[in-house]
């Protein structure tokens, strides 16, 4: 495949499909789509060499809005689909995207194991601290005292997950946080995430103005991490703690963890195995 | 010369953990293989992971047999610890022979009360005469003598089996074997009784020693599987363990997943990437996979699931067999989700059915569930070398290229060309959402109806050929069955024929899609039908009643595990027809 020339002419919009998103006006996910297509154009990746794997939720619809190969699967299992695809087709660039409910609640087990497996995947969680598609229920990142959902009228009463801290603990080798209100900064993070040779986790603060209108204020609250990325998970955890949930940038990059790669050759024929059965 | 009758001899070897009952049984089966026998060996364990009691259940015969018999002819007890646990599984008769070591205590009442023929052999003290000698090798020697085997072949086997442990171990095992083989007490006891006659290696022809799980693994590789993802579960794990190192050597791989939800989705991801993919599991795992199986049907991604059935529901009896995942395989998917369900009838059939299923799943871009059970999967059989011819089945259809590619195009046969990532100009989004021909999400009634029709058409209209069922014999009595129960049904039919009852055996391989015209033709002229299955809820019976019109006097023999159905039970059901 002539990847260099095939990709050269592509612009960000060439990575978009002609399907109109289902997202509400003002949804942060529009900007995430823009940032992803910018990153793909910057990387000059041929569309057929990229796959976007998603689960279920507003943000998971993103696969259909790209012009790369895509898979819009069931709720919470995007990382598993992506792991199978990447294991079978290591040469592809595999992106995984979805929401906080998809990735951290129903898909929580896959998230920690994907971090630990350290396959060369880029995983984007568009975190709006709410289930949008089912009309506004609390997610695993919703504050415990948020009472606007009829399902949990007194609030959840349980502390929210810290996705970046979870990723660190579970062994992800690249952890970053971006903001949909800064698509250029996000695109830069995504370029580095794609280039990172292991599991790259990018939490994107992506407001839901329909069910969480107060998230409009995020644009005044975000600020960069106070220091550059580290390869020390303890320092990264301390930085997360010190800088808070609105700090953005690349937090952690660890080139030392082994990257999952299939170990195989084609030294045998199936018939070779049959000899062992013969009496 | 010892008195003999044609060989059909069932032997149980029991002992507490570490006594070596399993090793002795495995070596005995191998030795029988070298001596031209057909046979089967099942292993039975107590619930402990290590150190529990164990039993080798071995049946050997001069002709192909693939099920356990109704009785055991010989029980060799290395000791009697917890032996009563096996009482149900090792049915003895008054003329069965017991070989036991008097130093290991009295024969338990449940066995003594049968009035069996007891031969006392001091196996422990005999083994003690040899440095490094173990009683299970005495036992192997005793049994080899009983069966009239040649000691030189045992010597070779011992070398193959213990070679890795060094010469001292090999020599000790050989000496112990010979001590048992030549023991005058045993020689005398054997001379006084009628025993099994020799088998004939030349007459037996090319044979394989194969477990059902290995058969499925081989069938999968033959079918082209190059990716597997799975989560460990009894009794499917040894299929995966067989597959993992071999997949690597043919350029594929097996990925251990964090759970079954992940493994089936990994399979879907790899298959989306163009690589024929499978998983293997058992009931509880299959239950976890059903959501994603619906996705594979909707997104039209080939996926093969080998489900090794065990006693259920829930954790049930994980180490024993039942045919109880038929319902979930047929009906467990949500929505209207046409897919394939196939069942393997015997050990050789595990190879055939798995290969066939892989090829069908690829050609029809759908889910194929292969059902086997613990009885087949974890037993090892000495069988005629598998020899089958699959009908021509096209490979996965890929688009020719060019503009206007529509992933879910409405074709005449319902199969739409499936682009593989890397193919330019054909990028599409596979979707579990209902979609248009191009894959665009759509809730329109016309799109839903068109895609449902297409997904049904490709499966219903496909010509599956003659492998849909295994049909043997003729007569107005038919026995309908599926899965490993077929082995006992075939033997029961042989016995009935010998007694002058004409009987037709119809064992279904292809369960979904149902083939009512084919079954109606197979049942032409039949007046009585016995349906045999190992399910308390009579799942197969209910399946037949819902998919087929059977115009005959219909009886059901349906009972649960953990004890496998034997030929005698089936003969009795026919003889006591009311």
Query: Residue B549 CA to chain centroid, in angstroms?
Result: 29
**pLDDT value at residue B530:** 98
Give which of A58, A73, A270 to mutate to test B binding, by max B Cβ within 10 Å. Answer: A73
A49/B432 Cβ within 8 A: no
A69-A75-A76-A82 Cα dihedral, nearest 10 degrees: -20
Residue among A48, A67, A273 minimizing CB distance to B218 = A273
A92/B249 Cβ within 8 A: no
Statement: residue B120 has pLDDT above 50 = yes
**pLDDT value at residue B81:** 87
B214/A84 Cβ within 8 A: no
Question: What interface predicted TM-score (ipTM) does this complex get?
Answer: 0.97
Distance CA B19, CA B12 (A): 14
Whether the Cβ atoms of residue A232 and residue A175 lie closer than 8 Å to each other: no
Q: How do residues B527-552 score in pLDDT, each as one tens digit?
A: 999 999 999 999 999 999 999 999 99
Asked whether the whole model's pTM tops 0.95, one would answer yes
Q: In the block, which residue shows the tokens 């303890």? A: A234
Statement: residue A5 has pLDDT above 80 = no
Q: How do residues B329-364 score in pLDDT, each as one tens digit?
A: 999 999 999 999 999 999 999 999 999 999 999 999
Residue among B207, B250, B258 minimizing CB distance to A266 = B250
Q: In the block, which residue shows the tokens 């191009």? A: B438
Statement: residue B438 has pLDDT above 90 = yes
Whether the Cβ atoms of residue A255 and residue A267 lie closer than 8 Å to each other: no
Q: What's the mean per-residue pLDDT of chain A?
A: 96
A80/B261 Cβ within 8 A: yes
Q: What residue of A is the nearest CA neighbor of B381?
A: A277
Using CB atoms within 10 A of its CB, is residue A11 exposed (0-12), middle (13-18) or buried (19+)?
exposed
B250/A69 Cβ within 8 A: no
pLDDT band at B79 (very low <50, low <70, confident <90, very high): very high
Give the closest-approach CA distance of A233 to chain B in angstroms: 24
pLDDT band at B25 (very low <50, low <70, confident <90, very high): very high
| DSSP track, B134-190 | -HHHHHHHHHHHHTT--HHHHHHHHHHHHGGG-HHHHHHHHHHHHHHHH-HHHHHHH
A81/B218 Cβ within 8 A: no
Statement: residue A16 has pLDDT above 60 = yes
Whether the Cβ atoms of residue A116 and residue A108 lie closer than 8 Å to each other: no
Q: In the block, which residue shows the tokens 């951290």? A: A104
Q: Is A96 within 8 Å of chain B by CB?
A: no
Q: Mean pLDDT across the stretch B467-472?
A: 98
Contacts of residue A80, defined as CB under 8 A and 6 or more positions apart, other chains included, come to A110, B257, B261, B262, B263, B265, B266, B269
**pLDDT value at residue B86:** 87
Compute how many other C-beta atoms are within 10 angstroms of the C-beta atom of residue B3.
11
């Amino acid at each position: 495949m002539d990847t260099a020339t095939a990709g050269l002419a592509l612009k960000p919009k060439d990575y978009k499909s002609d399907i109109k998103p289902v997202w509400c006006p003002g949804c942060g996910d529009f900007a995430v789509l823009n940032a992803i297509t910018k990153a793909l154009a910057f990387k000059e990746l041929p569309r057929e060499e990229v796959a976007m794997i998603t689960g279920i939720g507003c943000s998971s619809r993103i696969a259909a809005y790209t012009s790369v190969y895509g898979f819009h699967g069931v709720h919470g299992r995007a990382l598993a689909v992506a792991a199978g695809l990447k294991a079978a087709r290591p040469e592809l660039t595999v992106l995984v995207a979805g929401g906080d409910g998809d990735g951290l609640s129903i898909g929580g087990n896959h998230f920690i194991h994907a971090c630990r497996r350290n396959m060369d995947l880029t995983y984007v969680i568009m975190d709006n601290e709410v289930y949008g598609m089912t009309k506004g229920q609390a997610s695993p990142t919703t504050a415990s005292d948020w009472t606007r959902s009829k399902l949990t009228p007194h609030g959840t009463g349980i502390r929210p997950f810290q996705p970046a801290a979870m990723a660190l603990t579970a062994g992800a080798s690249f952890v970053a946080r971006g903001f949909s209100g800064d698509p250029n900064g996000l695109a830069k993070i995504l370029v580095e995430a794609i280039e990172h040779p292991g599991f790259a986790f990018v939490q994107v603060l992506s407001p839901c103005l329909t069910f969480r209108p107060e998230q409009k204020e995020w644009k005044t609250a975000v600020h960069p991490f106070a220091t550059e990325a580290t390869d020390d998970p303890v320092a990264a955890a301390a930085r997360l703690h010190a800088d808070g949930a609105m700090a953005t940038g690349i937090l952690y990059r660890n080139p030392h963890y082994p990257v999952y790669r299939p170990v195989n050759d084609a030294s045998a024929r199936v018939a070779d195995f049959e000899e062992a059965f013969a009496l | 010369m010892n008195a003999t009758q044609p060989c059909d001899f069932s032997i149980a070897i029991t002992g507490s953990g570490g006594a070596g009952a399993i090793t002795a049984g495995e070596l005995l089966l191998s030795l029988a293989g070298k001596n031209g026998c057909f046979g089967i060996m099942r292993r039975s364990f107590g619930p402990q992971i290590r150190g529990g009691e164990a039993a080798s259940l071995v049946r050997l015969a001069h002709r192909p047999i693939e099920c356990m018999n109704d009785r055991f002819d010989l029980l060799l007890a290395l000791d009697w610890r917890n032996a009563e646990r096996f009482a149900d599984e090792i049915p003895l008769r008054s003329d069965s022979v017991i070989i036991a070591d008097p130093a290991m205590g009295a024969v338990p009442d449940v066995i003594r009360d049968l009035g069996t023929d007891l031969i006392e052999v001091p196996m422990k003290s005999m083994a003690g005469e040899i440095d490094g000698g173990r009683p299970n090798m005495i036992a192997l020697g005793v049994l080899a003598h009983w069966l009239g085997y040649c000691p030189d072949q045992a010597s070779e086997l011992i070398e193959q089996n213990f070679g890795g442990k060094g010469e001292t171990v090999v020599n000790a095992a050989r000496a112990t074997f010979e001590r048992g083989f030549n023991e005058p007490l045993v020689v005398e006891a054997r001379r006084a009784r009628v025993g099994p006659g020799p088998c004939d290696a030349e007459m037996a022809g090319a044979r394989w020693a194969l477990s059902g799980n290995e058969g499925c693994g081989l069938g999968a590789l033959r079918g082209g599987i190059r990716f597997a993802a799975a989560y460990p579960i009894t009794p499917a794990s040894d299929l995966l363990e067989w597959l993992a190192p071999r997949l690597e050597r043919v350029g594929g791989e097996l990925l251990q997943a964090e759970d079954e939800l992940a493994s089936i989705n990994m399979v879907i991801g790899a298959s989306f990437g163009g690589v024929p993919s499978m998983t293997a599991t058992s009931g509880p795992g299959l239950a976890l996979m059903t959501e994603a199986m619906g996705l594979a049907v909707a997104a039209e991604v080939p996926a093969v699931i080998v489900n090794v059935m065990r006693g259920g529901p829930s954790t049930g009896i994980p180490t024993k067999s039942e045919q109880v995942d038929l319902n979930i395989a047929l009906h467990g998917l949500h929505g209207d989700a046409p897919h394939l369900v196939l069942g393997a009838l015997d050990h050789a059939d595990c190879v055939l059915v798995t290969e066939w299923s892989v090829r069908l799943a690829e050609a029809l871009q759908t889910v194929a569930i292969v059902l086997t059970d613990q009885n087949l999967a974890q037993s090892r059989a000495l069988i005629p070398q598998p020899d089958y011819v699959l009908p021509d089945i096209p490979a996965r259809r890929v688009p020719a290229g060019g503009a206007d590619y529509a992933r879910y195009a409405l074709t005449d046969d319902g199969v739409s060309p499936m682009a593989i990532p890397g193919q330019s100009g054909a990028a599409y989004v596979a979707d579990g959402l209902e979609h248009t021909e191009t894959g665009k999400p759509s809730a329109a009634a016309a799109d839903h109806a068109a895609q449902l029709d297409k997904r049904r058409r490709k499966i219903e209209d496909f010509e599956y050929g003659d492998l849909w069922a295994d049909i043997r014999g003729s007569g107005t009595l038919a026995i309908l069955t599926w899965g490993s129960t077929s082995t006992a049904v075939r033997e029961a039919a042989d016995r009935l024929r010998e007694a002058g009852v004409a009987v037709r055996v119809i064992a279904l391989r292809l369960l979904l899609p149902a083939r009512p015209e084919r079954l109606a033709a197979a049942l032409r002229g039949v007046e009585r039908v016995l349906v045999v299955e190992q399910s308390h809820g009579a799942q197969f019976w209910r399946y037949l009643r819902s998919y087929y019109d059977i115009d005959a006097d219909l009886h059901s023999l349906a009972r649960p595990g953990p004890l496998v159905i034997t030929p005698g039970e089936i003969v009795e059901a026919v003889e006591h027809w009311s």
